[in-house]
Structure formats: structure tokens, C-alpha cells
């Protein structure tokens, strides 16, 4: 049975055009041998059922009919869909262009090196090695293995200054890809000034001065070794002024292999620089100043255990200040003293391990973090630390 015969039968049974249009068995109805321009199209792409009752042979599409056959309602529907698709594509293009503009345009500010957000592979691209030591222990930079980049890319205060977040897809001209210490300097042609280490720390959102590096306070020794010339220059009075210079071989030249012992032998990433850098090694060494109030030697030893030789017994301060005998740290002889900050806060500094008994927590940067003790005791910078329950 043809569609037209089915329509005729349904009409003879008193079915309305709307009911016929809603019949799934009917898709297109035209009398045999009829002029396509006068075809009765009951369902046009199964849309416009409200017009089915108006469908009459010989009427123009503007008059509710189907004159023009394929060029009638179905053609109009196709044109409408094409127009809608065109508008949609245009809107997507506009939104995309806005995002690209936002991602590659400097944020409002005075230092374009700090405020610029864009893509990688710019007019200049070279790599500098940053080494941070706290009391003789090298610290790896923060990174997230699940992310393609870290400092200057991840919109989180631990990685980027909240005032300098880039739009999605954007990355700062100075950034890192892992925790190795390799800094990527990828500068567009619009930036003509030489970036500094201070610019990098501003993007990172961390302090840098002659008395503080990152979360470490004390005496700072800042030196730059230039492998191109073999010279070492002291910048201890102004570490932020250290220039991240372009290598002599050009802005894309990274001629020196990275010393693996200075990037933890790849434990926190290889730097994503092809194993090379420009020959500039920046050393930031922080020696924590002894505290007149509290040192490891003055802390209470672990309950029920003898104190190591040379230790006395005195309650350690809490993270909020004041004495709390439940906070306990012990040390090896000759281990360096803590700073004025409480032992628990100092022990929570990046790169330092705190050993906690299961289920107990310690305040860390204003938040509560729960740790599980690893097997054995680790030594960080000559200091063995163990934190006992806080009583909570």
C-alpha cells in the first residue's frame, strides 16, 4: 500500500489531517502521477503538524499548501535549519574569538611580563634552573602530575597569584611544567624587557627577599652561576633582581644538559625542556634563624621514650601559639633549630615530612590535613621529626 492509498483510506474513515500527520506509518503522500508542485505532503520531515490541517493540493506554501513539492515546506524547513545552524556557528566563533583574545591579552597591570597570558612557543623560548635549599635540603617546586603545567598555569593559590589567573587555555610567559625547578621563559614579541626572578615569584604569588623565599624565612643567600662564562654572581641583597637572561646562542638556544642531581634525578619531572637549559643556575639558600623562644632541643620528647642526647624537656608551642605538651617533636643531635614559627607549622613546609600516628591531624596553612605515617622515619635536612596526637 502506497502512502497516498493509506492517506485516502484514513481520510475515508474520518481521520483529520492532523491525525494522519501523526500516524507513524505516513511519511509522504502524493497522488500517483500527480505534479510534484501540487503534491499533498502530509508530513514534512515529521515537523509542523499544526499545518497539516491546512495542507491542500494546489495551494502555495505561503497559503498553507505544498506548492513546489520538495521546494515547499520541507525546503523551507531545511532553509530555516541552515539559517539556525549558521547563527549558531557564528555565535560559537564570536565566543571562541573572545576567549582567544582574553587568553592572549595582558591582564591590566604595569608589568607586561607578569600580566601577560598567552600560548606557548613564542618569539623567545628558553629555560632556567632554579634550586631552592632550606637548611641544606633542596625543595621541589609544587606540581600536579595530572596537569600539563604548574606555576603560572594552574589557577590555584599554591601555583599562581590569584590576582593574575589566566583565562582558560592561557599560560603565563614565565611558568613551570613540573616540580624539577626548570622555569620556562616563553615570551611573545610584544615583550621586549628581560624577565627577572622577581617576576616569576610575583606570578607564583610567593614572597622573595633577602630574608624570605617562598614559605622559608631566615638568612637568604642568592647566587647565579653562568655556565656560559663559568662565573658566579651574588644577589643576596636583591634576589628578585636576578635576570632570567636569554642564552648567547639565541632566544631558542638551550645548549647545556640539565644536571640531573639538581632536579632530583627526575623524581618530580624532567623540566619538559628536552633535557637541556640555557646554562643559568639560580641558587636560593635559606638558613633558618635560631629562635630565642623555642628550638627542637627545648621540645618535649615522645611520651614514654628517652630523649636523644642533648635534648631537654619542654612543651612545644601549638600552631596558634602557646604551649601544648601534646605536640611533640624530637631531633637528632646537632639538627638545626626551628624558626620563630611553631614546630608544627615549620614542619609543614613544602618538602618536609611530618610523621603522624594514624587518624590524627595537624594544622597546615589554616587547613586541617590528615596524614598516615610511612614505614620507618625519614630524615629531612638532618632532622628527624615525629608529631604526636594533638588531643583531638
Higher pLDDT, 112 or 96: 112
Average pLDDT over residues 224-243: 94
Is residue 156's pLDDT more than 70?
yes
The answer to whether residues 251 and 100 touch, using CB atoms and an 8 Å cutoff, is no
Chain segment 253-263, per-residue pLDDT in tens: 778 999 999 99
Give residue 112's pLDDT.
85
pLDDT, position 77: 47
DSSP for 157-209, written as a single string: TTTS-GGGPPPTT-EESEE-SSSS-EEEEEE-TT--SPPBHHHHHHHHT--BS
Tracing cell 642568592 back to the chain, one arrives at 222
Q: Calculate the average pLDDT of the chain.
A: 65
Please, what's the largest Cα pairwise distance for the chain?
Answer: 111
Task: Calculate mean pLDDT across residues 30-54.
Answer: 39
The CA distance from 169 to 101, in Å, is 11
Q: How many CA atoms lie within 13 A of 292 on its CB side?
A: 0
Asked if pLDDT for residue 281 goes beyond 80, the answer is yes
- State residue 86's pLDDT score: 54
Per-residue pLDDT band for 4 (boundaries 50, 70, 90) equals low
How does pLDDT run across 327-373, given as a tens digit for each residue?
A: 333 333 333 332 323 333 333 333 333 433 333 333 333 333 333 33
Contact 202, 335 (CB under 8 A): no
Q: According to the model, what pLDDT value does residue 121 have?
A: 58
Quote the pLDDT of residue 197: 98
Query: Do the Cβ atoms of 373 and 389 come closer than 8 Å?
Result: no
Is pLDDT at 238 greater than 70 in this prediction?
A: yes
Query: Which of 327 and 136 is assigned the larger pLDDT?
Result: 136
Q: In this predicted structure, what is the pLDDT of residue 159?
A: 96
Q: Over range 86-103, report the average pLDDT.
A: 43
Query: Could you tell me the pLDDT band of residue 10, with boundaries at 50, 70 and 90?
Result: confident
Please give the model's pTM, rounded to 2 decimal places. 0.50
Query: Does residue 232 contact residue 212 with C-beta atoms inside 8 Å?
Result: no
Beta-bridge mates of residue 26: none
CA separation for the pair 298, 282 (Å, rounded): 35
- pLDDT band for 1, please (50, 70, 90 cuts): low
Three-state DSSP string of 36-51: HHHCCCCCECCECHHH
Distance from the Cα of residue 86 to its chain's centroid: 34
28 confidence band (pLDDT: 50, 70, 90) = low
DSSP-assigned letters across all residues of 268-281: TB--SSTTEE-SEE
> Is 60 exceeded by the pLDDT of residue 146?
yes
Q: What pLDDT is stored for residue 249 in this prediction?
A: 77
Of 36-50, 167-181, 277-291, 298-312, the range with the highest mean pLDDT is 167-181
pLDDT at 264: 95
Q: Mean per-residue pLDDT for 138-157?
A: 95
Residues ≥6 apart with Cβ < 8 Å to 163: 205
Delimit the domains of the chain by residue range.
Answer: 3-75, 112-287, 291-392
Q: Is residue 295 pLDDT above 90, yes or no?
A: no
Amino acid at each position: 500500500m502506497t502512502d497516498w492509498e493509506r492517506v485516502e483510506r484514513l481520510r475515508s474513515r474520518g481521520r483529520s489531517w492532523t491525525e494522519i500527520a501523526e500516524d507513524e506509518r505516513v511519511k509522504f503522500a502524493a497522488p500517483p502521477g500527480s505534479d510534484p508542485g501540487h503534491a499533498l505532503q502530509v508530513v514534512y520531515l515529521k515537523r509542523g503538524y499544526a499545518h497539516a490541517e491546512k495542507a491542500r493540493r494546489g495551494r502555495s506554501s505561503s497559503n498553507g499548501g505544498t506548492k513546489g513539492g520538495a521546494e515547499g515546506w520541507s525546503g523551507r524547513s531545511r532553509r530555516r535549519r541552515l539559517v539556525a545552524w549558521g547563527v549558531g556557528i557564528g555565535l560559537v566563533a564570536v565566543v571562541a574569538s573572545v576567549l582567544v583574545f582574553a587568553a592572549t591579552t595582558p591582564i591590566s597591570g604595569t608589568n607586561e611580563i607578569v600580566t601577560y597570558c598567552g600560548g606557548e612557543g613564542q618569539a623567545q623560548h628558553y629555560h632556567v634552573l632554579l634550586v631552592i635549599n632550606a637548611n641544606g635540603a633542596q625543595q621541589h617546586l609544587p606540581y600536579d602530575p595530572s596537569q600539563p603545567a604548574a606555576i603560572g598555569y594552574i589557577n590555584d593559590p599554591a601555583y599562581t597569584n590569584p590576582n593574575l589567573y589566566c583565562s582558560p587555555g592561557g599560560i603565563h610567559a614565565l611558568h613551570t611544567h613540573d616540580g624539577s625547578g626548570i622555569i620556562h621563559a616563553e615570551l611573545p614579541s610584544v615583550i621586549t624587557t628581560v624577565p627577572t626572578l622577581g617576576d616569576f615569584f610575583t606570578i607564583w604569588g610567593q614572597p622573595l627577599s633577602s630574608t624570605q623565599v617562598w614559605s622559608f624565612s631566615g638568612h637568604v643567600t642568592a647566587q647565579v652561576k653562568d655556565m656560559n662564562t663559568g662565573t658566579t654572581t651574588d644577589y643576596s641583597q636583591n634576589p628578585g633582581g636576578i635576570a632570567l637572561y636569554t642564552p648567547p646562542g639565541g632566544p631558542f638556544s638551550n645548549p647545556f644538559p640539565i644536571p640531573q642531581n639538581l632536579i632530583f634525578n627526575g623524581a618530580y619531572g624532567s623540566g619538559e625542556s628536552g633535557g637541556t637549559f640555557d646554562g643559568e643556575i639560580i641558587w636560593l639558600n635559606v638558613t633558618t634563624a635560631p629562635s630565642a623562644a623555642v628550638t627542637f632541643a627545648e621540645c618535649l620528647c615522645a611520651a614514654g621514650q628517652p630523649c636523644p642526647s642533648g635534648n631537654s624537656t619542654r612543651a612545644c608551642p601549638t600552631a596558634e601559639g602557646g604551649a601544648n605538651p601534646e605536640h611533640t617533636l624530637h631531633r637528632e643531635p646537632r639538627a638545626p633549630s626551628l624558626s620563630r614559627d611553631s614546630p608544627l607549622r615549620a614542619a609543614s613546609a613544602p618538602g618536609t615530612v611530618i610523621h603522624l600516628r594514624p587518624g590524627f591531624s595537624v594544622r597546615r596553612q589554616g587547613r586541617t590535613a590528615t596524614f598516615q605515617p610511612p614505614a620507618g622515619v625519614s630524615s629531612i635536612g638532618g632532622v628527624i621529626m615525629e608529631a604526636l596526637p594533638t588531643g583531638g
